[in-house]
Amino acid sequence: MHSLARTRLLPALLLAPLLAGCFASGGDRSSGGDTGGDGSRLRVALAFPPAENLSPYGADATILSRLGVTEGLTTLDANGSAAPALAQSWRRENDRTWEFTLREAVFQDGTDVTPSAVAASLTHATEAEPAPAALSGVTLTAKAGDGRTVRITTAEPDPVLPLRLSSPSLAVLSPKAYGKTGKADPVGTATGPFEVTEVNGSTSATLARFDAYWGGRAQASGIDARFIADGTARANALRTGEVDIAEAVPVAQAATLDRATRRDTATTRTTSLLLNSASGPFEDPGLRAAARAAVDTSALAEDVYEGYADAGAGIYGPAVTWAEGKRKQPVGRAGAGRPHGRTVTLATYDNRPELPEVAQVIERQLEKAGFQVKLEVREYSRLESDALEGRFDAFVLARNSLVDTGDPVAVLASDYTCRGGYNIAQLCDKDVDRAVARAEESADPAERQAAAMRAEAEILGTDAVVPLVHQRIITGVGTSVKGVLLDPYERTLVGTGTRR
């Protein structure tokens, strides 16, 4: 990240509203739970089993946040702005240093949330390998300050640091969480309203209510979470009353659920075709252009997603309401080359059951254009490492563009720059890196959004990413369940007010 010529101070709630609408819920994490009675346990079916032993530094971070286990210093409000969580307030001291004042809270192991514990937790996150996506391109140092304050200094000015600290991958854990290996264990060491007490591999997890939660006692006495990768099985579990909440119901199963039990939520999730630009056939810009030209996205939203999606427009979809008015035409696209029967490996995962069907449509379209396609479908946890190491020529990915930080620029840095930690497209382009760096420098919200769209145009111009559809997520909710938290970022699901 380059230095700012002039640093602008941002208000405490940093960015202007990113999204329209509010969280769909009947309660939230700060509403306080009931103070009497134990309440019923919630039975929840999740689509993705733990891929990294519930480490908060990778894909498992959102499992923990959706179950109400972990928290960071900040969170995102319904408008996409930074809001208090473990930090009750913050201020910017200078262009590289921020001071966060902690609220009174305790960890689930009974120890106090102190400035030194918070600083140590954030330090562990900076040392994690690979680095959490929220820290892509960012170097920060956290130290305990006076009283209940933590001072965080970044190597370069970071005008959206409070947004960045809302990332589920920067959850604060107690010192007990970190062993000699440096790995983070969230079992009994987090701060949320629910505490993980048992994990049964990739099958299930048991959570108890954490009665000392600073935001109030949860109304549910605990959670029984099941990891069910098969979408049809998740829908069936809700329909037969085996679970109370089922996330990511397949669109093909939506009609089988009573209307009263299905909720669809506009999200910032985009399904894209990522082309490996560093090796294999798609290292050739002409063949990437040929693949992009071969893809017809018009039928995907209606046929595959049955209306629960919009046709792909860019990295940011219509749920990011400011994007459409600022969108630029892709820059510098190459002319389409001739495939001449080149063989490509196309991969995707079945945790989101629409993706294999999308991949099959793409397979047929590429073959019609002259490619030979080998399709590979696995569960995400068995696919991620190969994808990140560039072992596939093409990959169909459903990615929430604002899940890591809430900052529109962060996903560009993590997914499409040379230094990016989640760069499945293996993209390393100097013009893209320059455009993203300029966007990172922008402190004014409107300028940052405009710079993000200029960077998007550079990225789309490489044809390393072909946006396919912008999804609406269907969640199955039992008729007796109240207070489910459905937000565009897909970070929340269960809170203090969730009950049945």
State pLDDT tens for residues 409-430: 989 999 999 999 899 999 999 9
Model confidence at 58, pLDDT cuts 50, 70, 90, reads confident
Mean pLDDT of the chain: 89
Task: Judge whether residue 405 has pLDDT over 90.
Answer: no
Question: For position 377, what pLDDT does the model report?
Answer: 97
CATH classification of the domain holding 337: 3.10.105.10
**Other residues' Cβ atoms within 10 Å of the Cβ of residue 325:** 9
| Distance (Å, whole) CA 107 – CA 495 | 17
Domain assignment present for 355: yes
CA 151 to chain centre: 26
Residue 352 belongs to some domain of the structure: yes
- Can you tell me the distance from the alpha carbon of 63 to that of 72, in angstroms, rounded to the nearest whole number? 14
Instruction: Tell me what percent of the residues of the chain surpass a pLDDT of 90.
Output: 72
Provide mean pLDDT across the span 152-177. Answer: 94
- The pLDDT value given to residue 24: 46
Angstrom CA distances, 82 to 17, 92, 114, 407, stand at 10, 14, 21, 10
Give Cβ neighbours of residue 82 (< 8 Å, ≥ 6 apart): 12, 13, 14, 15, 74, 75, 76, 162, 163, 165, 166, 406
Q: pLDDT tens across 392-401, in order? A: 999 999 998 8
Cis peptide before 130 (omega within 30 of 0): yes
Arithmetic mean of pLDDT, 277-286:
98
- List, for residues 73-113, the tens digit of each pLDDT value: 999 887 778 999 999 999 999 999 999 999 999 999 999 99
Nearest alpha-carbon partner for 79 in 16, 10, 143: 16
pLDDT band at 66 (very low <50, low <70, confident <90, very high): very high
In a domain, 86, yes or no: no
**Contact predicate 26/496, CB 8 Å:** no
Domain that holds residue 338: 268-472
The confidence score (pLDDT) of residue 181 equals: 67
The predicted model gives 133-156 an average pLDDT of 93
| Least confident stretch, 131-140, 165-174, 187-196, 329-338 | 131-140
Residue 271 gets the label, from left (phi > 0), alpha (psi -120 to 50) or beta, of beta
The secondary structure of the chain in percent helix, strand, coil, rounded to multiples of 5, reads 25, 25, 50
Query: Could you give phi then psi for residue 153, rounded to 5 degrees?
Result: -115, 135
Element holding 396 (H helix, E strand): strand 394-400
| Of 22-26, 317-321, 490-494, the least confident | 22-26
Q: Is the pLDDT of residue 23 over 70?
A: no
Residue 437 located in a structural domain: yes
285, 304, 420, 459 from 429: Cα distances, Å: 12, 33, 12, 9
For the chain, what is the domain count? 1
Look at residue 1 in the predicted model and tell me its pLDDT: 38
Residue 226 and residue 33: Cα distance in Å, rounded?
24
Helix (H) or strand (E) holding 477: strand 465-477
| In a domain? residue 421 | yes
Distances (CA, A) of 382 to 99, 227, 268, 423, 424: 40, 15, 25, 17, 15
What separation in angstroms does the CA of 445 have from each of 160, 209, 380, 476? 10, 38, 34, 35
Query: Which tens digit of pLDDT belongs to each residue from 347-401?
Result: 999 988 899 999 999 999 999 999 999 999 999 989 999 999 999 999 999 998 8
Amino acid present at 177: A
**The predicted structure's pLDDT at residue 38:** 62
Name the token pair of 329. Answer: 């035409």
Decide if 375 contacts 360 (C-beta within 8 A): yes
- Is it the case that residue 142 has pLDDT exceeding 60? yes
Alpha-carbon distance values, 253 to 219, 241, 249, 294, 304 (Å): 30, 16, 7, 29, 12
Q: HSE of 138 in the Cβ direction (CA atoms, 13 Å)?
A: 33
> Which secondary-structure segment (H or E) carries 288?
helix 285-294
Considering only residues 186 and 20, tell me which one the structure prediction assigns the higher pLDDT: 186
CA dihedral (121, 123, 125, 130) positive or negative = negative
Residue 330 in any domain: the answer is yes
Given this model, what pLDDT does residue 349 score? 96
Report the pLDDT value the prediction gives residue 423, as an integer from 0 to 100: 96
Q: How confident is the model at residue 20 (pLDDT cuts 50, 70, 90)?
A: very low
335 is a domain residue: yes
Contacts with 420 (C-beta within 8 Å, 6 or more apart), sequence order:
136, 137, 413, 414, 427
Domain assignment present for residue 58? The answer is: no
pLDDT for res 34: 40
Most confident of 49-63, 140-154, 295-309: 140-154
